[in-house]
C-alpha cells in the first residue's frame, strides 16, 4: 500500500514522494505509537511501551528464526 | 463528532443551570452566542472544552490549582456549595453520547462520566469513560477545534514554532516522536549493554588465549595419556612375561645341584684318598709279602725304595733286582700310579708263581720260613684280598660318583645358561620397570596439567561463549531498532512534507478566494506571511492578517479531515470535529468577517461562534441562512441596595431587555433567540 499524496505528491517534495508502509518497521512503530497514546491517555503505564518493545523484538526474532527454518 | 446539547452550571459566569442546543443540521450548522464583554463567551467556550476534555483554554490557564479553580468556576456557586458541572450530549460515528463532568474534590479535571446510547437507552461506561472520550476527541486536537481566536493570534506572536507544533499536535506527530523516543531509549539501553559486554569480551579475549591454550593442553595431555597408556600396558606385559621367565628359572634347583656337586666332589676326594690309601696299603702289603719271601731286609729297604720310586715315578732298586727285573721284563711298571688292576693281577700272578716256585725253593733251601711266616703270608694274602676288594669297590664308587658329578655338572651347566638368561631378564626387567616408571610419571604429569587446564577452561569457557552470543543478539536488536528509527524519521519527514505542502496549497486556495492581493508564503516552520508577487514580505491590514490566520487554521482543520482517511495507523484518525471559536472577529472589517466565516463553514460540519455584540451584525450577514441556533449571553448585575439596571440589546431587528442586578455578584444567563 502506498500513501496517496493526491495533488500534493509532486516535484516540490524535498524527500522521496512515496514511502512503503508495508514493512515490519511500520508495524513495529505503529504498535509502539498506539501504546504511547494509551500511556498518554493514562490507559497504560509508562513501562508498558518498554515491555512492548521487548516483546516486539523477541517476536521479530522468532519470526526471523521461523523464516530461516523454512 | 457533532454537539447536540449542553447544560452548564457553576462554570465561569454561569451561576445557574443553563441549557443550550447546538445547530445540527448540515445546512444551518452554525450556533451563535453573542453578548457583551463579560457576558459569558469565554465561559461558554470553556464549558464545552472542560466538559469534553477536562482542559482549560490557554487564555484561562492559571499557574496554581486554586487560582485555576477560581477562574474556571463560579464563585457564587462554589460558595453555595453547589457542584459545578457540565453535561454535553453529542453524536459520534452514528452513536449518541452523554458526557458529564463535575468538579468534585480538588482536581480541576473533576469527575467524568460518559454514556452511550445503545438500543434506545443510555448506558454508562463503567471504567474508561475518559479514555473513550479521548479517542473521540483527542486532547491534542481539542484546543485547535475549541479555541479562543484571540488566543490563537497571541500564541502565534509568542512562539515562532507554534504553527509547526500545531500541525504536529493536530495529527499526533508528538505521539510518533514519543514512540521514537522510546525506541531510541531501547536502543540506547542495548548500545550501553553491548558496550559493557564488549569491554567484558575484550577482557575475555585475553582469557580466551588462556582458555584456548588450556584446551590445547588438555588435548596434548590426552594424547600423552593415550600413548603412555599403551606404553604402560606394553611395559607391564613385558615385565609380567620377564618375571614369568625369571620364575621359571629354578634357583633352588641350582643351589641343590651345586650342593650335590660339592658333596660328590667331597666324596670323590675321600674315595680317591681311601683308594690311594688302600693301594698304598696293598703296596705295603706287597712289600710285606716280599719280606717273607725275599728277606726282611728287603722289606724295609724295598718298601722305602718302592715308595721313593713310586713318588719319583721311577722303578728302584738294587735290593730286589731280580724282582724288579722280573717286573721290568714283564713290562710292568710297579709305581703306585701305574699299578692298575691289570698290572697288579699280572704282578700277583708273577708273585704267585714266584712265590710258589721261589718260595718253595727258598723254603726248601733255607728253611728260613717259619710257621708264623706262613700264617703271616696267609693273613697278608687275606689282607691283600681285602684291600684289593676295597680298592675295586672304591674305584667303582669313584666311577659312580664321577658319573654323578658329571651329571650334576651337566645340569649345572644348563643352569649356568639359565643364569645368564636370568641376568639378561633381570636387566630387561629393570629397563622395563624404569620405562614403566617414566611412563607413569609422564602420565601423572599430563594428568595434572590436564586438571589444571580443565580448571582454566571451566573458568573462562561459559563467559566467553555466552558473551559473544548475547552481543550478537543485542547487535541484531540494535540493527532492527535502527531500522525502525530510520523508518520513523523517514515517515515523519514525509508526513511533515505532505502537511506542509497541503497547508500551503490550502492557504493559497483560501486567500485566492478573497480579494487580498498578496501571495501566501509558508516557511518550513509553518510560519506564514503575505508576500507581494515580487516576493517581498508584507504585513497586511488587521483583517487581512486575521484572514490569513484563519486560512491557516482552516487548512489545519481540513488537513485533519484528509488525514482521518489515512490508514497508516500512526497518526490520529480524528475525523470530523465541531469547531467552536471564541471572538474571531475582533476589530475586523466586515468583508474579512465574510471571508473568515466562509472559510470556517467550508471546513466544518458544525460551527459554533462566540462573538461580541458589535461584531454580530457583520457575522449575521455573512452567515445568513446558515445559523441554526442563536443565543444571547446576558450579563446580570446585582447592585448593592437592590437597584436594577436595565440594558437594551437589539438583534435581528428586535429589541431585548437585559436586566442587570449589580456588580457585587454577577452571573450570566443564556437566552435563546428565536424569530418569535
**Residue pLDDT, tens place only, B77-113:** 777 778 899 999 999 988 999 999 999 877 888 899 9
Check residue B300 and give its pLDDT: 42
DSSP letter, residue B58: G
Residue A3 lies in a domain: no
The x, y and z cell numbers of residue B579, run together, are 469547531
Check residue B325 and give its pLDDT: 52
Check residue B505 and give its pLDDT: 92
Closest chain B C-alpha to A35 CA, distance in angstroms = 8
Residue B241 has pLDDT above 70, yes or no: yes
What residues make up the domain containing A53? 22-69
User: Minimal Cα distance from B498: which residue of A?
Assistant: A8
Which residues of A are less than 8 Å from B564 in CB distance?
A: none
In this complex, is the C-beta atom of A7 within 8 Å of any C-beta atom belonging to chain B? yes
Range of A59-68, B114-123, B288-297, B466-475 with top mean pLDDT: B114-123
Residue A59 lies in a domain: yes
Closest chain A C-alpha to B501 CA, distance in angstroms = 6
Which residues of B are less than 8 Å from A34 in CB distance?
A: 569
Chain-chain contact of B501 with A1 (C-beta, under 8 angstroms): no
Residue A16 lies in a domain: no
384-443 of B, contacting A, C-beta below 8 A = none
Q: Give the containing element (helix H, strand E) for B622.
A: helix B616-622
Of A3, A7, A40, the CB nearest to B175: A40
- Give per-residue pLDDT as tens, B185-204: 999 998 998 888 877 777 76
Percent of chain B at pLDDT > 90 equals: 10
Residue B496: pLDDT band with limits 50, 70, 90: confident
- Which of B59-63, B289-293, B601-605 comes out lowest in average pLDDT? B289-293
DSSP string, B632-661: EEEEEEE-TT---EEEEEEETTEEEEEEE-
Closest chain A C-alpha to B498 CA, distance in angstroms = 7
Chain-chain contact of A61 with B498 (C-beta, under 8 angstroms): no
Residue A48 lies in a domain: yes
Rg (alpha carbons) of chain B, rounded to whole number: 75
In this complex, is the C-beta atom of A28 within 8 Å of any C-beta atom belonging to chain B? yes
Of A26, A49, A57, the CB nearest to B477: A57
Check residue B86 and give its pLDDT: 95
The number of folded domains in chain A is 1
In this complex, is the C-beta atom of B196 within 8 Å of any C-beta atom belonging to chain A? no
Q: B140 near B174, Cβ under 8 Å?
A: yes
Cα separation of B350 and B344, whole Å?
9
Give the residue-averaged pLDDT of B610-614. 87
Which residues of B are less than 8 Å from A60 in CB distance?
A: 480
User: Minimal Cα distance from B189: which residue of A?
Assistant: A50
Check residue B616 and give its pLDDT: 85
User: Minimal Cα distance from B178: which residue of A?
Assistant: A36
Chain-chain contact of B502 with A21 (C-beta, under 8 angstroms): no
Q: Which ranges of B313-370 does DSSP label H, i.e. alpha helix? A: 321-329, 341-354, 360-366
Cα separation of B283 and B287, whole Å?
6
Residue B209 has pLDDT above 90, yes or no: no
Check residue B574 and give its pLDDT: 67
Write the CATH number of the domain with boundaries B2-160+572-635. 3.40.50.300
Which residues of A are less than 8 Å from B127 in CB distance?
A: none
Closest chain B C-alpha to A66 CA, distance in angstroms = 16
Check residue B303 and give its pLDDT: 47
- Give per-residue pLDDT as tens, B340-397: 566 556 555 655 555 445 545 544 443 444 455 556 656 766 777 787 788 888 888 8
Check residue B22 and give its pLDDT: 93
Higher pLDDT, B172 or B250: B172
- Which of B103-117, B287-301, B443-457 comes out lowest in average pLDDT? B287-301
Range of B136-145, B161-170, B447-456 with top mean pLDDT: B447-456
Check residue B250 and give its pLDDT: 72
Which residues of A are less than 8 Å from B186 in CB distance?
A: 50, 53-54, 57
Higher pLDDT, B360 or B455: B455
Mean pLDDT of chain B: 77
The x, y and z cell numbers of residue B158, run together, are 509568542
User: Minimal Cα distance from A42: which residue of B?
Assistant: B131
Cα separation of B302 and B297, whole Å?
8
Order of strands, sheet of B519-522, starting from the edge strand that comes earlier in the sequence: B519-522, B528-531, B537-538
Of A14, A30, A57, the CB nearest to B570: A30
- Which of B285-294, B478-487, B613-622, B645-654 comes out lowest in average pLDDT? B645-654
Residue A8 lies in a domain: no
Check residue A13 and give its pLDDT: 37
Chain-chain contact of A28 with B484 (C-beta, under 8 angstroms): yes
Cα separation of B199 and B409, whole Å?
88
Check residue B608 and give its pLDDT: 93
Of A12, A25, A53, the CB nearest to B182: A53
Residue B4: pLDDT band with limits 50, 70, 90: very high
User: What interhelical angle do B371-512 and B162-171 show, nearest 10?
Assistant: 110
Evaluate whether ipTM surpasses 0.90: no
Check residue B2 and give its pLDDT: 92
Check residue B585 and give its pLDDT: 78
Domain boundaries, chain B: 2-160+572-635
Closest chain A C-alpha to B164 CA, distance in angstroms = 17
Q: B32 near B607, Cβ under 8 Å?
A: no
Pick among B179, B193, B474, B522 to test the A interface (most A CBs inside 10 A): B179
Residue B8 has pLDDT above 60, yes or no: yes
Higher pLDDT, B614 or A20: B614
Residue with cell 497518526: B571
Give the residue-averaged pLDDT of B589-615. 88
Give the residue-averaged pLDDT of B461-470. 60
Q: By C-alpha distance, which of B290, B280, B302 is closest to B373? A: B290
Query: Residue B313: left (phi > 0), alpha (psi -120 to 50), or beta?
Result: left
In this complex, is the C-beta atom of B458 within 8 Å of any C-beta atom belonging to chain A? no
30-59 of A, contacting B, C-beta below 8 A = 30, 32-38, 40-43, 49-50, 53-54, 57
Check residue B100 and give its pLDDT: 95
Percent of chain B at pLDDT > 70 equals: 75
Of B135, B488, B498, the CB nearest to A5: B498
Residue B336 has pLDDT above 80, yes or no: no
Rg (alpha carbons) of chain A, rounded to whole number: 17
Of B175, B179, B487, the CB nearest to A23: B487
- Torsion angles phi and psi, residue B257, rounded to 5: -60, -40
Of A7, A29, A35, the CB nearest to B484: A29
Residue A63 lies in a domain: yes
- Torsion angles phi and psi, residue B285, rounded to 5: -65, -40
Check residue B115 and give its pLDDT: 94
Chain-chain contact of B179 with A36 (C-beta, under 8 angstroms): yes
Chain-chain contact of A57 with B505 (C-beta, under 8 angstroms): no
Range of B142-156, B359-373, B551-565 with top mean pLDDT: B551-565
- Which of B379-383, B489-493, B586-590 comes out lowest in average pLDDT? B379-383
Residue with cell 725275599: B294
Amino acid at each position: 500500500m502506498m500513501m496517496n499524496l493526491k495533488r500534493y505528491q509532486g516535484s516540490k517534495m524535498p524527500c522521496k514522494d512515496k514511502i512503503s508502509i508495508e514493512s515490519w518497521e511500520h508495524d513495529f512503530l505503529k504498535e509502539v505509537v498506539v501504546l504511547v497514546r494509551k500511556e498518554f491517555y493514562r490507559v497504560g503505564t509508562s513501562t508498558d511501551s518498554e515491555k512492548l518493545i521487548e516483546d516486539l523484538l523477541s517476536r521479530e526474532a522468532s519470526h526471523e528464526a521461523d523464516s530461516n527454518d523454512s | 463528532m457533532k454537539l447536540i446539547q449542553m447544560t452548564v452550571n457553576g462554570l465561569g459566569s454561569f451561576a445557574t443551570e443553563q441549557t443550550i442546543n447546538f445547530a445540527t443540521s448540515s445546512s444551518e450548522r452554525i450556533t451563535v452566542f453573542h453578548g457583551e464583554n463579560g457576558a459569558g463567551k469565554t465561559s461558554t467556550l470553556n464549558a464545552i472544552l472542560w466538559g469534553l476534555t477536562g482542559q482549560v483554554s490557554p487564555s484561562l490557564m492559571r499557574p496554581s490549582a486554586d487560582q485555576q479553580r477560581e477562574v474556571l468556576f463560579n464563585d457564587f456557586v462554589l460558595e453555595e456549595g453547589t457542584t459545578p458541572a457540565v453535561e454535553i450530549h453529542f453524536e459520534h460515528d452514528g452513536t449518541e453520547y452523554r458526557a458529564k463532568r463535575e468538579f468534585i474534590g480538588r482536581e480541576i479535571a473533576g469527575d467524568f462520566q460518559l454514556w452511550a446510547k445503545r438500543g434506545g437507552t443510555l448506558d454508562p461506561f463503567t471504567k474508561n469513560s475518559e479514555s473513550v472520550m479521548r479517542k473521540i476527541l483527542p486532547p491534542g486536537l481539542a484546543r485547535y477545534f475549541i479555541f479562543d481566536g484571540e488566543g490563537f493570534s497571541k500564541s502565534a506572536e509568542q512562539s515562532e514554532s507554534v504553527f509547526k507544533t500545531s500541525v504536529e499536535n493536530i495529527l499526533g506527530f508528538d505521539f510518533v516522536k514519543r514512540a521514537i523516543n522510546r525506541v531510541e531509549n531501547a536502543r540506547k539501553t542495548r548500545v550501553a549493554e553491548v558496550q559493557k559486554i564488549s569491554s567484558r569480551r575484550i577482557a575475555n579475549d585475553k582469557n580466551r588465549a588462556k582458555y584456548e591454550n588450556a584446551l590445547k593442553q588438555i588435548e596434548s595431555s590426552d594424547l600423552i595419556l593415550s600413548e603412555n597408556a599403551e606404553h604402560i600396558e606394553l611395559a607391564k606385559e613385558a615385565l609380567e612375561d620377564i618375571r614369568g621367565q625369571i620364575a621359571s628359572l629354578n634357583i633352588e634347583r641350582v643351589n641343590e645341584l651345586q650342593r650335590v656337586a660339592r658333596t660328590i666332589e667331597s666324596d670323590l676326594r675321600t674315595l680317591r684318598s681311601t683308594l690311594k690309601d688302600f693301594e698304598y696299603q696293598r703296596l705295603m702289603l706287597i712289600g710285606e709279602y716280599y719280606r717273607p719271601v725275599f728277606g726282611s731286609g728287603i722289606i724295609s729297604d724295598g718298601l722305602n725304595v718302592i715308595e721313593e720310586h713310586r713318588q719319583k715315578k721311577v722303578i728302584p732298586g738294587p735290593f730286589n733286582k731280580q724282582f724288579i727285573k722280573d717286573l721290568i721284563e714283564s713290562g710292568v711298571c710297579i709305581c703306585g700310579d701305574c699299578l692298575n688292576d691289570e698290572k697288579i693281577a699280572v704282578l700277583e700272578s708273577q708273585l704267585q708263581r714266584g712265590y710258589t716256585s721261589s718260595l718253595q725253593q727258598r723254603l726248601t733251601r733255607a728253611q728260613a720260613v717259619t710257621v708264623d711266616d706262613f700264617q703271616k703270608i696267609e693273613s697278608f694274602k687275606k689282607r691283600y684280598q681285602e684291600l684289593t676288594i676295597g680298592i675295586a669297590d672304591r674305584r667303582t664308587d669313584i666311577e659312580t660318583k664321577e658319573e654323578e658329578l658329571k651329571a650334576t655338572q651337566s645340569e649345572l651347566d644348563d643352569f649356568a645358561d639359565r643364569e645368564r638368561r636370568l641376568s639378561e631378564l633381570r636387566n630387561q626387567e629393570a629397563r622395563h620397570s624404569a620405562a614403566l616408571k617414566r611412563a607413569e610419571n609422564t602420565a601423572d604429569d599430563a594428568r595434572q596439567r590436564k586438571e589444571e587446564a580443565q580448571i582454566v577452561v571451566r573458568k573462562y569457557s561459559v563467559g566467553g561463549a555466552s558473551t559473544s552470543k548475547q552481543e550478537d543478539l543485542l547487535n541484531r536488536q540494535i540493527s532492527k531498532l535502527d531500522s525502525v528509527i530510520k523508518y520513523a524519521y523517514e515517515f515523519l519527514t514525509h508526513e511533515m512534507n505532505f502537511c506542509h505542502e497541503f497547508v500551503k496549497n490550502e492557504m493559497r486556495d483560501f486567500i485566492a478566494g478573497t480579494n487580498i492581493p498578496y501571495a501566501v508564503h509558508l516557511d518550513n516552520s509553518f510560519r506564514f506571511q503575505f508576500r507581494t508577487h515580487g516576493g517581498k514580505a508584507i504585513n497586511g491590514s488587521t483583517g487581512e492578517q486575521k484572514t490569513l490566520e484563519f486560512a491557516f487554521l482552516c487548512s489545519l482543520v481540513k488537513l485533519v479531515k484528509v488525514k482521518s482517511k489515512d490508514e497508516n495507523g500512526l497518526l490520529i484518525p480524528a475525523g470530523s470535529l465541531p469547531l467552536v471559536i471564541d471572538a474571531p472577529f475582533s476589530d475586523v472589517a466586515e468583508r474579512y468577517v465574510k471571508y473568515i466565516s466562509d472559510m470556517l463553514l467550508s471546513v466544518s460540519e458544525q460551527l459554533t461562534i462566540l462573538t461580541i455584540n458589535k461584531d454580530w451584525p457583520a457575522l449575521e450577514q455573512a452567515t445568513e441562512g446558515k445559523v441554526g441556533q442563536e443565543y444571547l449571553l446576558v450579563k446580570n448585575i446585582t447592585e448593592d441596595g437592590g437597584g436594577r439596571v436595565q440594558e437594551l440589546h437589539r438583534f435581528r431587528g428586535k429589541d431585548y431587555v437585559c436586566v442587570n442586578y449589580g456588580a457585587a455578584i454577577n452571573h450570566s444567563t443564556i437566552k435563546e433567540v428565536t424569530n418569535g
